[in-house]
Chain A
Amino acid sequence: MTQLSDVRAPGSLPGAPLLEVEDLSVVFTRRGRRDVRAVDGVTFSVRPGETVGLVGESGSGKSVTSLALMRLLPSRGVHVGGRVTFDGMDLLSLPRDSMRDLRGRDMAMVFQDPMSSLNPVLTVGRQITEVLRRHRGMHGDEARDEAVSLLSRVGIPDPARRFREYPHQLSGGMRQRALIAISLACKPRLLIADEPTTALDVTIQAQILELLRELVVDSGTSLIMITHDLGVIAGLCDSVNVMYSGRIVETASRYELFGQPRHPYTAGLLGSVPRLDASRGQPLRPIPGSPTDTLPWARGCAFQPRCANRIDRCALETPLLQVDSARRDADGTHWLRCFNPVASSTPVSAPGAPPAGLGASEGVPGSGPAVAASSEELPAGGLADVGAGTFDVDLGAAERGAPGSAPGSMAPEARAVEEGEQ
């Protein structure tokens, strides 16, 4: 399991991260106005073949983070601080020409609205071959054939015809596929997807998510998934960063995060989404206030005005992002920025008990076999192996771990939840 080892601490583990973001900050300045600190001290890392999620509501700084990583923010009126290292290169101080070489070839991005990110006056094919010419030196028929095969790879029927068509002739889902085809043209090592399915219908969303999932598994691409949809995160991401008002407030593997949300904001988000598999009649538990009711981080916890767990300290001191001491058994992967977190045994999700095998290895992965599994998987090396082997290894660990780790397995906890909620 990729998420068993420490996903954050830079340099502490041999599984060298592909992208390391340290203390990234983005400040928008405008003369005569107060500075706006959109991203504030964001730190995370992405390893080869890993899918990392950034979740948050509007204004949490998740999109600005991705634009800063790609150096796509305007140079005037924006101050970007911190360090971003991609494969050993410092992205923020890289010359513009080198950055242009990198962008599109090694790092690519998929945006939310395919209509506004495709050029309406160029054919889809032209927009794909542009990348192939620029980065891979392909020309003429060679580039054409490659572009058609990319279109068919992302599941566009009749790719030769679509190659000649303009973006307005494609449906929304197909445009998003075309955009993904463009971003895949150079087999990037890192793909940033900024709300790639928000504008799409659920059935199309499922198709696109399946495509991204296949991509990560087949080609070992690392993926940063930016979304506000917790369901998308739950199905796709190895580790999840929850952002609020420009800072990360909680980081954990997805099993940890959904099973044991510790930050009141994460718990609040989970409590406020209606669930398809919940029985009817359970009222939603919304977070009061709105995302604009924040306290500046410099003065305390930004979430304090909306927080149900707030204590006096929250308005006086700024909490730091630290390893969650109550979830040490989660292998130090659970990070938290909160003085008074949600009690460790009251997860909000999981109304039904999870399947024992799957839950066991995740709920308390500190047991021997699980750790062995993670170290087994690391030397495998090859990019594709990391992704493809993940699940098999996990299942194996669960089976082997089940007899030994019975007291710590998920089932008793799940029972505690149900009791606790009544």
Chain B
Amino acid sequence: MSERTPDVAPQEPLSAASDAALVEQSGSTGAAGRTTGAGDAPGAEPTSGEVLLEVRDLKVHFPITKGILIDKVVGHVKAVDGVTLDVRRGTTYGLVGESGCGKSTLGRAILRLEEPTSGSVFFGGADVAAMHGTQLRHTRRRMQMIFQDPMASLDPRQTVESIVSEPMRAHGEPASKKAQQARVRELLKLVGLPQSAAGRYPHEFSGGQRQRIGIARAIALNPELIIADEPVSALDVSIQAQVVNLLEELQDRLGLTYMVIAHDLAVIKHISDTIGVMYLGSLVEEATSDELYAQPLHPYTIALMSAVPLPDPVAEESRERILLTGDLPSPANPPSGCRFHTRCPYRQETRCDDEVPALREVLPGRKVACHWAEEILSGEIRPAESSRTVAAT
């Protein structure tokens, strides 16, 4: 399992580059790897950076058990069911989908916070899914997580200094207490908190400031990859923008690689270079942020895009909206064939109900899991009349 799978084209000498990043202040290495930034020309494809994270056919299945004394496994919730994706160094990969689609489980499985059922996660060339003991500990130092609810992820009985320095204590880096304190001060400054924050407790801060504390903790060990699970969804609108800007700023300065998980398509579009859309445990579409918005190809993405309300009444009234019917089916008993066919406005008589579509490259750099992507793109297949509404009528 720790060997690289043969079908993956060998990339750069990964280990050398990432080792350098480990010892170095990651600012320099990251800057080299970063190809597109918030300020760069939009639309440029983030292709030149080396691949930092490779997820190959990852599956996380949770058993459903029944029985009082002896637990009998009666089925599985297929939270993540065969996801394959690449994240390039210095870029942001956005994972979007409705609640229950498995996006958070995928993020946690990459960090091995959730044990994968099968598949592999290559981080800098080594398979995280097959690591144990010290090796896993060392790798985890290079990948960190930012959680959704800062109040629930910060210990209310620890001071901010203690929270932020905990990863340093756990890994003994830097070793001296004095150096750790200095690093905490540096981190607080980096995330825009006053020095006086160090001695205070989480409850003394507002939601946005708490999220900054969580971010300071996540970058304490100079990680290469940060997985942010709904980093702004618990925050007020005006505060969301502050945190989004901070994340982008830190990426520019420290050369971080992000995987951002969110349900808010507008936030994801703003922050990501590449976006993966998930539905019921698997990726249905993957594209660069601009292309995905300009022309969504998968019916689910099309519907998702049209469901996001725009803060502009004129645009809101003139656009066509595709309404999906019903709810997300249960991941314990997913529909046969294409998992989206029960709600799909473009559903066809053949193939959709019984044949599982593979994630395939339809246009250069555009991966879609739909049998009819070409026909939908060319306008040959139109959505069912019943699902279309124009807000103005």
Contact = CB atoms under 8 A, between A and B. Distances in A.
Nearest to A363: B314
Interface in A214-239: 228-235
A280 B206 contact: no
Q: Tell me what chain B mostly uses at the interface: helix, strand, loop, or mixed.
A: helix
A279 interface: yes
Contact of B42 (A228, A273, A275, A281): A281
B324 interface: yes
B310 A276 contact: yes
A321 interface: no
B307 A235 contact: no
B269 A280 contact: yes
Contact of B245 (A172, A255, A283): A283
A366 interface: no
Contacts of A402: none
Interface stretch (B164-172, B234-242, B353-361): B234-242
B115 interface: no
B266 interface: yes
Contacts of A271: 241
Interface stretch (B54-62, B74-82, B315-323, B376-384): B315-323
Contacts of B3: none
Interface residues of A, number: 61
Given A203-B98, A231-B308, A359-B314, A280 B42 contact: yes
Nearest to A289: B238
A350 B326 contact: no
Given A202-B304, A275-B310, A283 B238 contact: no
Interface string B254-277: 000000000101110111000000
A290 B239 contact: yes
A92 interface: no
Contact of B318 (A233, A278, A279, A358): A358
A58 B321 CA distance: 30
A354 interface: yes
Given A203-B304, A234-B311, A272-B238, A283 B209 contact: no
Contacts of A88: none
Interface residues of B, number: 59
Contacts of A233: 311
B24 to A, nearest CB: 28
A203 B267 contact: no
Nearest to B307: A206
A391 B393 CA distance: 8
From A157, A173, A272, residue with most partner B Cβ within 10 Å: A272
Nearest to A235: B316
Given A234-B316, A280-B42, A350-B314, A273 B237 contact: yes
B290 interface: yes
Contacts of B304: 202-203
B250 interface: no
A233 to B, nearest CB: 8
B310 A206 contact: no
Given A268-B238, A280-B42, A283-B248, A290 B207 contact: yes
A58 B266 contact: no
A269 interface: yes
19 contacts: A157-B326, A203-B304, A206-B321, A210-B321, A270-B311, A272-B237, A274-B266, A275-B310, A276-B265, A278-B270, A280-B290, A281-B38, A286-B239, A290-B207, A290-B238, A291-B239, A350-B314, A355-B318, A391-B393
Given A173-B327, A275-B312, 15 more contacts: A57-B238, A202-B98, A203-B323, A207-B325, A209-B309, A228-B236, A229-B309, A234-B310, A235-B391, A258-B312, A275-B266, A280-B42, A284-B270, A286-B239, A290-B208
